[in-house]
Structure 1
């Protein structure tokens, strides 16, 4: 099977597990969406680079379309929305598309070899994942969760 079919099946497996194992009166599920990668000229392990961009994207027409990953996630969540089940999709993809500059790539930890693969999927600069956390926090507050 191809990668997207495997991803779709994994999301369906996750959905089944949530439906069978979590008590809907005690659980609230928030699934974070797909984080886009910004490699150019190859993948992370095949010479791709993610340090070509120094500023956030400002041209909306250059943004990638919604990835199929998010459709699979969204469809699974829609199939879970019945009764008193609390499931939400925190879609960070579009927001993150604007921050193609937000990766340290070869500028990460001191001592990283110059030829180390650039990893813009996991090594975001402060700002990108911090913003995701702010959205999650705002979503929790909007649902009535409060700190003491």
Structure 2
């Protein structure tokens, strides 16, 4: 993908060692508690937002940079997530996070929505560490779909690995693409990580393979919900087999909603996210997309794992942000509207404030 600063490709890995005690102490100092649900609340206007200027961040791909692509309104940048009492969120402190992660590697593994969160976090940290802090970056291209940014003064490395399915997508000897529902050989790249953030769902609705293989069974296609379930179970087995005895912290990005149907928030039929400039004002009246099977499957699979995995439950808060998508400001040449991806700066910054909160409270949860 095109970027404001073109960077070469590289591959790295991620894991957070010994952060449990430090995270608990940091959480206590920050005055946060792991006993409340920070994912329930509302969006409030905060004139101190956004947390950074996307124009000064070299890590935002053109497709996510709505300001660069001519979005004229700025209200969507001014909203902060406010959890319901008794919950409260500490303000994001990039230097504190870098200090907690000193010498560590943090990896994001998944699709472009995971990349949305990754690039947002890079900008948030970059803004906090700009004064005198050196960075060394390389970006995905060609056959190396991974990106790496290292904050040299702290020895902190953040990596993004493109993995649409979290299980292996390979080419056989005949050149056919095979989605293997029971293998995670690509996970070898992730084993040295101190923190891992995973996410997958959108690509399961697409057929980007010639065949699906489940054990010895090979078919051209199958029910996608069933396929996703099998794939996620294979991922869970891989995590338990490889990370159970490690100090690696594991997170899973929850379902990120799209806003293609304006009737969900009371708009006339045919309306999409395109002209929206404010969040949903009445959460109780928002019909949403109904229960999505991904959420139920993810919760069930995570509950059955031996390795603790923290769910970044971003669904509800994101459902309210019909105004936060890249829409027609994604830098494309066509008239298409993107109601799936999010502007950076924007909604993913609040995902990362909750991620930051989760890191602080990880020792207590």
Question: Is this a same-fold pair by TM over 0.5?
Answer: yes
Report the counterpart of residue 59 of structure 1 in structure 2.
282
Asked if 1:142 corresponds to 2:357, the answer is: no
Which residue among 30, 35, 39 is the counterpart of 2:260? 39
Report the counterpart of residue 15 of structure 1 in structure 2.
236
Instruction: State how far apart, in whole Å, the 2-side matches of 1:75 and 1:106 are.
Output: 36
Asked if 1:71 corresponds to 2:292, the answer is: no
Asked if 1:4 corresponds to 2:225, the answer is: yes
Report the counterpart of residue 119 of structure 1 in structure 2.
338
For residue 102 of structure 1, report the CA deviation from its aligned partner. Answer: 0.5
Instruction: State how far apart, in whole Å, the 2-side matches of 1:78 and 1:127 are.
Output: 31
For residue 54 of structure 1, report the CA deviation from its aligned partner. Answer: 2.4
More helix by share: 1
Cα displacement string for residues 120-142 of structure 1 (whole angstroms, at most 9, x for unaligned residues): 32343422111111100110011
Report the counterpart of residue 44 of structure 1 in structure 2.
none
Report the counterpart of residue 128 of structure 1 in structure 2.
347
Give the TM-score taking structure 2 as reference length. Answer: 0.34
Give the TM-score taking structure 1 as reference length. Answer: 0.78
Instruction: State how far apart, in whole Å, the 2-side matches of 1:33 and 1:14 are.
Output: 15
Asked if 1:94 corresponds to 2:312, the answer is: no
Which residue among 99, 103, 119 is the counterpart of 2:325? 103
Instruction: State how far apart, in whole Å, the 1-side matches of 2:338 and 2:253 are.
Output: 20
For residue 91 of structure 1, report the CA deviation from its aligned partner. Answer: 0.7
Cα displacement string for residues 68-100 of structure 1 (whole angstroms, at most 9, x for unaligned residues): 2111111111101x4xx3211111001100101
Larger radius of gyration: 2
| Unaligned stretches of 5+ residues in structure 1 | 42-46
In structure 2, relative to structure 1, the CA distance for the partners of 1:87 and 1:32 (3 Å cut) is: same
- 8 Å CA contact 1:24–1:86 kept in 2: the answer is no
Cα displacement string for residues 38-65 of structure 1 (whole angstroms, at most 9, x for unaligned residues): 1138xxxxx9943142210022221423
- Length, aligned pairs only: 134
- 8 Å CA contact 1:103–1:125 kept in 2: the answer is no
Instruction: State how far apart, in whole Å, the 2-side matches of 1:58 and 1:99 are.
Output: 10
